Amino acid sequence: MSLTVNPGSGKGARLLLGLSPLLVPYLVLFCGGVALTVCQSLGIATPLPHPGGLWDAYAGLISDPAFFASFGFSLWVAGASASLSVATGAFLAYRVWKLPRQLAPLSLVYKIPLILPHIAVAFLVLIFWSRSGIVASAAHSLGLIQGMHEFPNILYSGWGMGMILAYTLKGTPFAMLLALALLARFDVRQIQTAAMLGASGPRIFFAIVLPRLAPALHTGFIILFLYSFGAFDIPYILSESRPGMLSIHVYNLYFKHDLARRPEAMAILTLMFCFAVVFIVAYSRAVARLENGGRKL
């Protein structure tokens, strides 16, 4: 039994058979799960019998400005953190790649946030950036501020800075990983040639290196954006009350309120899912058009 499917008769059937260890769980658990979410949002198959109409939950959401505020806020946090991560990751990856061989092992410290779970990174952000945190203490000892309250309000300013910082701290090494993988195959002679022809450092980075890194960076952006958009762990520790992240709102609806509000929670999840799909397709198409069809994912 080798792991190849022989061409010829019954190829379709053998393909399906070969793919089945993955396709069966995929269909049952993933597609089934999504289907159940959609059904429960419509009031079908809910724990408690649903008294209202099919689209009640959606109607309620559309007419609720707090929902759109949360949605927009989630988009903002996701976009800002993903962009920051990818930009910082690309820059740092380039610098790390240029390190001489002896210093290269030291650069492995960048993997630390990769290993830490998201909740731990949120904890770090709390320790450092809260008003009673370490950066505030450092500012105080440098004489920059006289008391806790002069320290700028980073974590709870209404802009989700705490979450953005945490997602960026976790996402930058990830982007670095993707970029370094590409840089490993990069021909350094291109850079040497450009330098010989008089190009400056930044010019080299933006004109030569960055375009080559683009596929990895786009992949990274999609992954990081969607993760920050829908994840639960970091917002649960750092989220602000108003507007809150969508995932926390869903959590509260699912666990802390009447079961009768289940369709509402499921409706939000369905909308999040649709958004994720639309985003992937639209982003991939836009990038492919710009780069003539290189494979992104």
Partner 1 sequence: MIPLLQRPLMLLTGLAFSLVLCLAAATPCLSADHTPDNAPATLPFADVAERARGTQVRWYMYGGWAHVNDWVDTYVAGEMKKRYNINLVRVPMDAGVFVNKLLNEKAAGKAVGNIDLLWINGENFKNAREAGLLFGPFADRLPNVEKFVDPASVSHDFGYPVDGYEAPYGRAQFVFEYDTAQAGTPPADLAALKAWIMENPGRFTYPQPPDFTGSAFIRQVLYAVTGGHDQYMAGWDPDLFAEKSPLLWKWLNDIEPYLWQKGRTYPKDSAFLDTLFSRGEVAFGMSYHPSHAQNKIIEGSYPDTARTFVLRDGSIFNTHFTAIPFNAPNKAGAMVLADFLISADAQLSKYQPDNWGDFPALDLERLPEKERERFRAVDLGPATLGSDVLGPLAVPEIPSAYLEALEQGWKAHVLDR
Partner 2 sequence: MKHGSTLALLVLLFLVPAVILVLVSLAPAWRFPQVWPDAFSMKGAAFFMRHQGQILGALGASFGFSLLTVAATLAMCLVPAAVFARNHFPGKPLLEGLLLAPALVPPMTFAMGLHFLFIKASLADTLAGVVLILAMFSYPYMFRALVAGFQTMGDEYRICARNLGAGPLAVLFRVELPLLVPAMIAGGSVVFLVAFSEYFLVFLIGGGSVPSFTGTLFPLLSSSNRSLAAILTLIFLFLPVFLFLVLDLSLMRSYRKKGMI
Size of the site for partner 1 (CB under 8 A): 21
- 210-to-28, 36, 119 alpha-carbon distances in Å: 41, 43, 32
Helix (H) or strand (E) holding 210: helix 210-230
By CB under 8 A, is residue 48 in contact with partner 1? Answer: yes
Is 80 in contact with 139 (CB distance < 8 Å)?
no
> Of all helices (H) and strands (E), which one includes residue 252?
helix 246-255
Per CB under 8 A, contacts with partner 1 among 249-278 are 254-256, 258-259
The Cα–Cα gap between 20 and 132 comes to 54
Q: Show contacts with partner 2 in window 96-155 (CB under 8 A).
A: 96, 98-100, 103, 106-107, 109-120, 122-124, 126-128, 131-134, 136-138, 140-141, 148
Nearest approach in angstroms of CB 3 to partner 2 is 4
The SS3 of residue 16 is helix
The option from partner 2, partner 1, none interacting with 149 (CB < 5 to 8 A, set by class) reads partner 1
Decide if residue 188 touches partner 2 (CB under 8 A).
no
User: In the block, which residue shows the tokens 């800002």?
Assistant: 80
Give the residue, chosen from 36, 144, 148, 195, that forms a contact with partner 1 under the rule CB under 8 A: 148
Q: Count other Cβ atoms within 10 Å, centred on residue 180.
A: 21
- 241's contact among partner 2, partner 1, none, with CB below 5 to 8 A by partner kind, is partner 1
**What are the backbone dihedrals phi and psi of residue 99, each rounded to the nearest 5 degrees, phi first?**
-65, 145
Residue list 77-96, contact with partner 2 (CB under 8 A): 92, 95-96
Instruction: By CB under 8 A, tell whether 232 contacts partner 1.
Output: no
In the complex with partner 2, which residue's Cβ is closer, 159 or 273?
A: 273
Asked whether 90 and 210 are in contact (CB, 8 A), the reply is yes
| Partner in contact with 194, chosen from partner 1, partner 2, none, beta carbon below 5 to 8 Å by kind | none
Q: 102 or 241: whose CB is closer to partner 1?
A: 241
> How many Cα atoms occupy the beta-carbon half-sphere of 24 within 13 Å?
5
Which residues here bind partner 1, judged by CB under 8 A? Answer: 47-48, 66, 130-132, 148-149, 153, 156, 158, 236, 239-242, 254-256, 258-259
